[in-house]
Structure formats: C-alpha cells, structure tokens
Amino acid sequence: MRAGFPRALSLGVALNPSVVAGLSAGPTTAYHADYDRANALLAKLACNAAARLEARGYAAVTGPVTVKVVKGDGATALPHKTVATRAGLGWIGDSALLITPEFGSAIRLTSVLTDAPLVCGEPIRESRCGTCRACVDACPARAIEGELWREGMARDRIFDAAACKRVASALAARQGIDVTICGICVLACPWTQRYLHLRQ
C-alpha cells in the first residue's frame, strides 16, 4: 500500500556470490546468514535514506525488509520488487523474483516511501526472460508456471506460492533453518550465473 506517497526509493543489496554458488541442493546455513546480513544492511540503508529525506523537510516511511504473512497467499500490499520494477531496476522473472541485469535474482530489496520530488527511473513493464526455463526446470516444488510476467499480472498466474513455501520450508528445516528460504531458482537463473561468473 502506497499510503498516499507518490514516490518510492528502491534499495537493493546483492547476495554473496560464493554463497549463492552453493545453492544447487537448496538452502545452506551460509545462505541463511548472508540473507540475514543483506536484510540487516537494507534496514540500515532504508533508515538512513528516510532520515536524510526528513532532514530536508520531506516525509519518508520505511517498512520491514521481509514481511511475514501468516494468512492468505503470502502477498503483500506493495511488494519491494514492484517498487524496483517501477524504478527500472529489473523485471519479475518466471520465479516471481526480481531479476536484475547486474545480479540476476541474487539480490534482496527494500523500499522507502516518500513525497520528495525525486527523478524517477523508467519502469520495466514486462519480463525479459524470453524462452528461458532454467528456474522452471530447477524448482523442486514445481511452483513456477512458466508464464511470462507483465505489469499488473496476478502472481498466481506465474507462481504457486503455497507449493514453494511447503517445499522450501522442508528444505530449510533439514539444515536447521527456521525460515522459509530455498535459493535453487536464484542459482539457476542465467542472469545470476552471469553475476557469479563476473565475480569469480
């Protein structure tokens, strides 16, 4: 929910490429730690950005990096990835994750809502995944439908969130991880592979 704010900042932190490279069988404790590191850094960056905007006389609101949804399909009112597509940082991939040219889907996001008259990026309104099925084929939950995303499309047309949560939670629990993370589709993405290759 935009809460009446006309603009937003989209902030991203890349995940450690050496950690992401180890996700072929699912989440690891190193991935969980890096996920938490990225989330903590994002929270700090968002607070700093909001404080700077407020110091200049503008309103600014931050929210949690990860929103825990107890009921329903897990969707949030204003996903950080939606803000990122509107800012032109990337597109929604078949996996329902943001894909960026620089980091693939190996990135965590947050947003800062504001009334500051910022110059906006050029929105990306449709998928650039083309015929790629790497994440579709890699998903152990078979949660990825393979339909290309377009702006305004309902998430359940491309992604089965319940199936993903069920299998990801089980994979994480086997590693002693008490949150729902997986990462297999993150690693499978050719854009992520490009990021890993460039950082070797």
pLDDT for 152-196, tens place per residue? 999 999 999 999 999 999 999 999 999 999 999 999 999 999 999
- Going by C-beta distance under 8 Å and a sequence separation of 6 or more, which residues neighbour residue 95? 105, 135, 139, 144, 159, 185, 186, 189
Residue 110 included in any domain: yes
Instruction: Classify residue 132: in a domain, yes or no.
Output: yes
Range of the domain at 180: 7-198
**β-strands 107-114, 91-92 pairing:** unpaired
Reported as a single tens digit per residue, the pLDDT across 109-161 is 999 999 999 999 999 999 999 999 999 999 999 999 989 999 999 999 999 99
Q: How many CB atoms lie within 10 A of CB 41?
A: 15
In contact, 105 and 97? CB cutoff 8 Å? yes
pTM of the entire structure? 0.90
Is 115 within a domain? yes
Asked whether residue 2 is assigned to any structural domain, the reply reads: no
In a domain, 186, yes or no: yes
Question: Which element (helix H / strand E) includes 134?
Answer: helix 134-138
- The answer to whether 106 and 100 are in contact (CB under 8 A) is no
Flag whether 118 is in a domain. Answer: yes
- Indicate the number of domains in the chain: 1
